[in-house]
Amino acid sequence: MNKNVIFLGIESSCDETAASIVKQDKHGKVKILSNIVSSQIKEHQPFGGVVPELAARSHVEKIDIIIKKAIQKSKIPIQKITGVATTAGPGLLVCLMVGMSAGKTIATFLKKPFLAINHLEGHALSPRLIKKIKFPYLLLLISGGHTQFLEVQGVNKYKRLGTTIDDALGEAFDKTAKILGIEFPGGPKIEKYAARGNENGFVLPKPILHKSGCNLSFAGLKTAVLHASKKIKNKQDKYNLAASFQHTINEILKVKSKKAMQLFLENNKQNKENYFVIAGGVASNKTIRKNLQEVCKSMGFKYIFPPSELCTDNAAMIAWAGIERYQKKLIDDVTFTARPRWPLDEKAPFLKGAGVDHSQK
């Protein structure tokens, strides 16, 4: 590192339009100079979920102004940036294309490098925005679309240790919220309801808890919540069901995170310090953070849990992934096309529902 590196990051893979400027100085120090996020929650609420065409139209309307705001706030003249990093997948194709064309246009106009970023790599590297932890470390990614334990071995080097075989954790929170009559996206509201309820009010299942290594499953839990909801008579029952659901999730995450940590330790015997990090929207849940901090302490892992604004979708993590890849000379060009499906560990088998081998303990 012998010069300052400054990246513009652009994110539009789902329902957040975001842009950010991140700088790494010649000594390696990292600073987020701006991090602008515009959420479309209000636009999708009447439909109970993200509508791709609506999302794409909203990205088109906002992307220029969001990028402009990010540049203005950073106080960096646009000509001074080193390169442009844009989320290229996974995500909704019509949405990805909006950010990609904005990023490609700016990079071409300024004659700067263009980097196509895997959104999941953005989440995976986000803890290094806060602290220069060394590779490898263990990541639990829990968002609306993904739930995975990943060994982060280096930039562009990932090994999936476990994944959900059905719903993503954020999806389970949102579906439980819908059953309780909470509007989309219900995850944050479930946390509020749960704080007022009795976590032992309802007994809910913990699918594949002692099967299939650190793979996870939430579909059966969601069905059980639906059945339990038939017994709800008043508001307090709703709070109790939310609390029981969140408690069950915490119990599942406790067992599965321990399994993932054991696997990680077996794979990395030479490691002197072991770090556990979390990312994704669900990682902003305070009870999950507390629960997982306790697991880390009991397993001898250090932890970095980024603040909520870096856990949920944002462009600072995309700009940062751009800087990390640029430093490794992993540069793309404007012929790169968006990839709606783009696993971080390309070698990991597709695991969904029936046919999954649960023999592993």
Instruction: Give the footprint of ligand KG4 on this chain (CB under 6 A).
Output: 14, 143-145, 170, 173-174, 185-188, 190-191, 280-282, 284-285, 312-313
Could you tell me the smallest distance in angstroms from the CB atom of residue 103 to Zn ion?
Answer: 17
Instruction: Classify the C-alpha dihedral 154-216-165-286 as positive or negative.
Output: negative
Q: What is the DSSP letter of 284?
A: G
Instruction: Answer for the pair 207, 220: CB distance below 8 angstroms, yes or no.
Output: yes
Which among ligand KG4, Zn ion, none contacts residue 187 (Cβ within 5 to 8 A by kind)? ligand KG4
Please select the residue that binds Zn ion; options are 143, 240, 248, 250, rule is CB under 5 A: 143
Q: What is the DSSP letter of 182?
A: P
SS3 293: helix
Pairing of strands 275-279, 137-142: parallel
Could you tell me the smallest distance in angstroms from the CB atom of residue 193 to Zn ion?
Answer: 24
Could you tell me the smallest distance in angstroms from the CB atom of residue 225 to ligand KG4?
Answer: 14
Measured from the CB atom, the residue of 127 and 197 that comes closer to Zn ion is 127
Taking contact as CB under 5 A, which single stretch among the options 56-64, 73-81, 311-319, 345-353 is the one that binds Zn ion?
A: 311-319
Could you tell me the smallest distance in angstroms from the CB atom of residue 300 to Zn ion?
Answer: 29
User: 290: burial class by Cβ within 10 Å (0-12, 13-18, 19+)?
Assistant: exposed
Laid out side by side, the sheet with 137-142 consists of: 157-163, 147-154, 137-142, 275-279, 302-304
Measured from the CB atom, the residue of 81 and 142 that comes closer to ligand KG4 is 142
To which H or E segment does residue 210 belong? none
Could you tell me the smallest distance in angstroms from the CB atom of residue 146 to ligand KG4?
Answer: 7
Instruction: Answer for the pair 181, 190: CB distance below 8 angstroms, yes or no.
Output: no
Measured from the CB atom, the residue of 84 and 317 that comes closer to ligand KG4 is 317
Instruction: Answer for the pair 20, 35: CB distance below 8 angstroms, yes or no.
Output: yes
CB atoms within 10 A of CB 359: 8
Could you tell me the smallest distance in angstroms from the CB atom of residue 11 to ligand KG4?
Answer: 10
With CA atoms as reference, report the closest residue to 280 among 257, 308, 255, 248. 308
Which among ligand KG4, Zn ion, none contacts residue 312 (Cβ within 5 to 8 A by kind)? ligand KG4
Taking contact as CB under 5 A, which single stretch among the options 60-68, 71-79, 136-144, 159-167 is the one that binds Zn ion?
A: 136-144
Measured from the CB atom, the residue of 187 and 213 that comes closer to Zn ion is 187
Which among Zn ion, ligand KG4, none contacts residue 239 (Cβ within 5 to 8 A by kind)? none
Q: How far apart are CA 215 and CA 236, in angstroms?
A: 33
Question: And the tokens for 96?
Answer: 């990805």
Taking contact as CB under 5 A, which single stretch among the options 39-47, 142-150, 230-238, 284-292 is the one that binds Zn ion?
A: 142-150
Which among Zn ion, ligand KG4, none contacts residue 174 (Cβ within 5 to 8 A by kind)? ligand KG4
Based on the shown chain and the rule CB under 5 A, indicate whether residue 212 belongs to the binding site for Zn ion: no
